[in-house]
Structure 1
Amino acid sequence: MRTQSSSHTKATKTKIPKFDAQLSLGEVAYWAIQKHVKKSTKYQDGVLADRNPENLHQMRVGMRRLRTAIDVFGPAIDLPDAAQRSNITKIARQLGKVRDLDVLQLWFQHYLSIVSTSTDEGVQIQHVLERLNKRRQKKFSQLPKLFKSKIYRQFVAAYGDWLKKPQFQSVAVMPVLDVVPDLLLPLLSQLFLHPGWLVATETLEGRVYPIVGMSMETLDQVFVQEGPDLHDLRKQMKRVRYQTEFFIPFFGQTYQAQTQGFRALQELLGVFQDEAVLSEFLVGELGIYWSDQLPSLAKLLQEERFRNWKKWQALQLKYLDPKFRRTLSRRVMSPSLEFMATGSQPN
């Protein structure tokens, strides 16, 4: 059922000036979508100018956050076909192909800054970087076509029309504070039940704990066998982070600190994924025995992984603690209490 109440119409004329207990789910949904549509499109010229890779990164992040907003507020909004999640995914995937190569370029450039370019490894990395640059140029050449494509033009037009005259589902009139727990609790449940938490663990006296004291070689095997679970956990953590950040204005500082904790954990898992992407790229360029050609690089990556693994295990232990899980679940069940006490405002 579509609705368009007067309060929603008012929200289309200006940004929401203040977050208070009277806001409806639809008003908050409108604010979130408006914010991330703007971020998803304002970097287009900067991307095409190709002077700063941050423009592409920010546009891709905007697309991801917009996609998350649709996931969060799906029960409250009624979007046209061209604005649906699937189209955002297609656009973001094209941006991601170039962004992934940008990240590799930056990594190899950093590595060249700490090794001598006259060494065998330095010369080899320079050759790899040259081939990477050519691949990146080829992928980047597709972006002007993307921005002129029918799918992108319809995407921009669809959101422009929706923001002028938004359509909502009937649940949009509900006070946002009443439904925040219903939106966040299922998300936390999916996170807590993810198999990635069980990577390299053991059960002692009925509790699950990380296995300590593993060697570098054993850890390498863990990533070969269970790396995909950690990668998928990173994606789930990113969804949790983005979705919980939408509701920071309705909670206090404790909740906000927790969202920062989600971000830190996502970024740590992202380091493992970056290493996997880098290794996969080198296999494609130099073969499965690339580490024999770049022994210093291989050693550096192994040592960094080992150090980061210890950081991960500390967080893994925290998230496996049932008391922590219950505390976090209770925290999202009472937004109004913290909100009324702090008077939080949006960023």
Structure 2
Amino acid sequence: MTELMIQDAKTLADWSYIAISKHFKKILKHEAEVIQDKDPEELHQMRVGMRRLRSACTGFSYALNLPKAANEKNVGKVARILGELRDIDVLEEALKQQYQPVLPKPEQKALNTALKILSDKRDKTFLKVKKILQGDLYSNLKEAFQEWLDKPIYQDLGYLAIQTVLPDLLLPQVSHFLLHPAWLIGNNSIELHKNWTPEEVENLLHKQGYIVHNLRKEAKRTRYNMELFTEFYGESYQNYLQDVKTIQSILGEIQDCFVLADFLTDVFGKNLEDGIPTLLNKLQEIRYEKWNEWQDLRGKFLNPETRQEFHLTILASESKKLVETNGLTHV
């Protein structure tokens, strides 16, 4: 089948094909290296491809008629297993590169115990990754996506001009993002409480940090959805996309600190505070720092004018970049 180029894409179906083809190829590109397990970056890239393929399946669901095995649920199963291994790699890198070198000697030595346990856990998790990549679920998934890419089938809505449906694709996810309860965490109104102490932030995050973590996942979905359509928008859209990325990153660093603390609790148990007090204080400092960084963006997105402008930006796609079509486009 002839490859569809971006400049030739006119319909929702065209753009769904481009997205799925791009991310599917990325997955295949890194698959062999992941199974060989020589470079953690290969795993990272394959996981990103899986996540974005899943996002494309969800974002273009109105247009797609995929084979049964090529569904969002199956992509998610593989992505989660890859994610487990990637999370361990990130944790190991943070311990070795970011924290261990700056700790007192006794705590550096204590972390060696944690790193050994983490290494053993990684070995077991890698076996799960290898099993799923060499198993029927993944094999059937690949075969189904390739079958669809060779002979794509669409729902009727897929043949609408992309300009007609673009806001309808983007605004629902943006609304989920903006209506998330984490924006008002610790507040009874949109007025932000400023000058929180580290202790106040810690108490709040320990009680309701899961809500903030959930907003991070919503930001990620919003980012992936918006990145599907950057061709159609200008600077204002790019600025909002960057804000969403920053929110995802900031809240992700807060979550990473909790994940690391939970792992260390499992390793050291009751001896945690005595064994690695400097590291625990460092994690609290990072959470407090990131919390304060989030407050500026939090205030921005609680502003009614920002929220209205965000919606209007999505509605005002740059029509000069779009090619309208009244007929069908076969790809």
Alignment of 1:58-207 (within 5 A): 58-110=45-97, 111-116=99-104, 119-203=105-189
1:282 equivalent to 2:264? Answer: yes
> How many Å apart are 1:288 and its aligned residue?
5.4
> How many Å apart are 1:192 and its aligned residue?
1.1
1:253 equivalent to 2:235? Answer: yes
Between the aligned partners of 2:319 and 2:293, the Cα distance in structure 1 is: 33
Cα deviations by residue, 1:41-67 (Å, 9 ceiling, x for unpaired): 211112122222111111111111111
Instruction: Check 1:322–1:19 CA distance in 2 against 1; reply closer, same or farther (3 A cut).
Output: farther
The alignment partner of 1:15 has SS state of: coil
1:319 equivalent to 2:308? Answer: no
Instruction: Check 1:254–1:284 CA distance in 2 against 1; reply closer, same or farther (3 A cut).
Output: same
Query: 1:8 corresponds to which residue?
Result: none
Checking the alignment, whether the CA contact within 8 Å between 1:25 and 1:76 is kept in structure 2 is: yes
Query: 2:4 corresponds to which residue?
Result: 15
> How many Å apart are 1:274 and its aligned residue?
0.6
Query: 1:6 corresponds to which residue?
Result: none
> How many Å apart are 1:73 and its aligned residue?
0.4
Paired AA for residue 146 in structure 2: G
Checking the alignment, whether the CA contact within 8 Å between 2:20 and 2:56 is kept in structure 1 is: yes
Paired AA for residue 216 in structure 2: R
Paired AA for residue 140 in structure 2: Q
> What TM-score comes out, normalization by structure 2 length?
0.93
Instruction: Check 1:25–1:168 CA distance in 2 against 1; reply closer, same or farther (3 A cut).
Output: same
Between the aligned partners of 1:62 and 1:247, the Cα distance in structure 2 is: 17
Between the aligned partners of 1:289 and 1:255, the Cα distance in structure 2 is: 49
Between the aligned partners of 2:262 and 2:320, the Cα distance in structure 1 is: 46
* Residues paired across the two proteins, number: 321
Structure 2 residue corresponding to 1:235, chosen from 212, 217, 237: 217
Q: Which runs of 5+ in 1 are unaligned?
A: 1-11, 341-347
Between the aligned partners of 2:85 and 2:125, the Cα distance in structure 1 is: 6
The alignment partner of 2:191 has SS state of: strand
Query: 1:306 corresponds to which residue?
Result: 288
Between the aligned partners of 2:28 and 2:242, the Cα distance in structure 1 is: 26
> How many Å apart are 1:113 and its aligned residue?
2.1
Structure 2 residue corresponding to 1:209, chosen from 191, 199, 208: 191
**Could you tell me the percent identity over the aligned residues?**
35
Between the aligned partners of 1:288 and 1:198, the Cα distance in structure 2 is: 34
Instruction: Check 1:38–1:188 CA distance in 2 against 1; reply closer, same or farther (3 A cut).
Output: same
Structure 2 residue corresponding to 1:270, chosen from 232, 252, 267: 252
> What TM-score comes out, normalization by structure 1 length?
0.89
Instruction: Check 1:82–1:143 CA distance in 2 against 1; reply closer, same or farther (3 A cut).
Output: same
Cα deviations by residue, 1:214-249 (Å, 9 ceiling, x for unpaired): 111111111111101101000000000000110000
Runs of 4+ in 1 over 4 A off after TM superposition: none
Paired AA for residue 122 in structure 2: R
